[in-house]
Structure 1
């Protein structure tokens, strides 16, 4: 009897420690997901693909789910509510599956990003600049911050709908200039504008961000799997025997998931 109670207490102590770290990981996932989404927001908007933003939304949703699991555990573990503990375990399994999915998506996305950019980025520049305010703002932001011009090079702007307008004097957008001033894009001399295209810089940044997400998801997934094991051990201990008035799921106002009849089967 004493050894069983001690085993139960040890499992609960380990789960309390796990709970503390679980909260930290949930907050870390939310903050990391939000931060990575914000710093790649303009890149993803110009890429014009919902596939990549889905990975960030899923990452944020997983972080929120982790925090919910933490709150459920705070009620289930101390009070020995085995029905709630069962839900806690199921949700932890869901978290681990989401994290595996995020890791797989991040790995696949970082391998395919260059092909997608080659297909979409130049078309976005040619067709939407100055005709779509949101994408125009993102293109200008990218070119100014990354010190680049066009998709593969500054010559890409020659074929844009905006430049071909007879009333436009610029040869490239002002955001291509090394020192951005109004109408500075009138001169396309190398002393005035950045010649290198943006695709290489964008690929490097997005791949770096998805690599961080991939590593984070896999590492945290392994840790959360420990919680599934600990929660399952506690659940089995509470359901399998009546230790005493303090620990029995049938006493102290607590409730067992399985009925007494099921225990004797």
Structure 2
């Protein structure tokens, strides 16, 4: 056996060894993706409940008090076309509406809901809570629908990647068998 044959045989062995490692790494990543996807599905309702709790408390306690939260809530209500956390009536129980404080960022001035709730935002449009003026749907439901849409999109992308990984594992196994047959 010449020195060149020995090097070729060792090189082929290492290539086969690397293919096996590659296959196991792909399998490991595939299993991790499956576990994360399963956990996301299991905790979907828990995420929605947490979203409901945290959004409700932010709407009720921070609107008109904190500049950042007030701007974020206004932007959310305008972008999602919603009013209040669960429903527009939430504002009746908010610190913003019940407070007689003069240092509020957005004073009530007779409003029943913030102006950002209005379908067509104009100054002091929040004085009317008629269905022609404001949406009655709360932001939690709109946000949960948007979150579900994004989760479905991520799931579809993840499924596509998993299919590619399965093909990668199959092809690497075929390559390993082919290299093994060539060596023997």
Give the alignment's TM-score, normalised by structure 1. Answer: 0.52
CA displacement, residues 184-238 of structure 1 (integer Å, 9 cap, x when unaligned):
3233343332233222222222222222323432343133122112213323443
Provide the rounded CA distance (Å) in 1 between the counterparts of 2:43 and 2:99.
36
User: Can you list the C-alpha shifts for 1:226-255, whole angstroms capped at 9, x where unaligned?
Assistant: 211221332344356537xxxxxxxxxxxx
Residue in 2 aligned with 1:233? 174
1:113 is displaced (CA, Å) by 4.2
2:158 pairs with 1:224:
no
Q: Distance in 2 between matches of 1:181 and 1:85?
A: 65
The Cα of 1:173 is off from its aligned counterpart by: 1.7
Contact 1:100 1:218 in 2 (8 A): no
For structure 1, the residue ranges without an aligned partner over 5 or more in a row are 1-79, 244-265
- CA deviations 1:21-44 (Å, max 9, x no partner) are xxxxxxxxxxxxxxxxxxxxxxxx
CA spacing shift, 1:183–1:225, aligned 2, 3 Å = same
Structure 2 counterparts to residues 53-202 of structure 1, below 5 A? 81-82=15-16, 84-166=18-100, 167=102, 168=107, 169=109, 170-202=111-143
Identify if the C-alpha distance between structure 1 residues 101 and 133 changes in structure 2 by more than 3 Å, giving closer, same or farther. farther
For 2:67 and 2:177, the matched residues in 1 are separated by 59
Unaligned runs of 5+ in 2: 1-13
How far apart are residue 84 of structure 1 and its match? 4.7
In the TM superposition, residue 125 of structure 1 has moved relative to its aligned partner by 0.8
CA distance in 1, matches of 2:35, 2:20: 23
CA RMSD of aligned residues (A): 2.8
Measured after TM superposition, the shift of residue 96 of structure 1 is 0.9
* Deviation per residue, 1:136-158 (Å, 9 max, x gap): 33322221122211122212112
1:106–1:189 CA distance, 2 compared to 1 (3 A) = same
Deviation digits for residues 146-173 of structure 1, max 9, x if unmatched? Answer: 2211122212112222233323223322
Following the alignment from structure 1 to structure 2, what is the Cα–Cα distance between the partners of residues 134 and 89? 49
**1:242 and 2:183 aligned:** yes
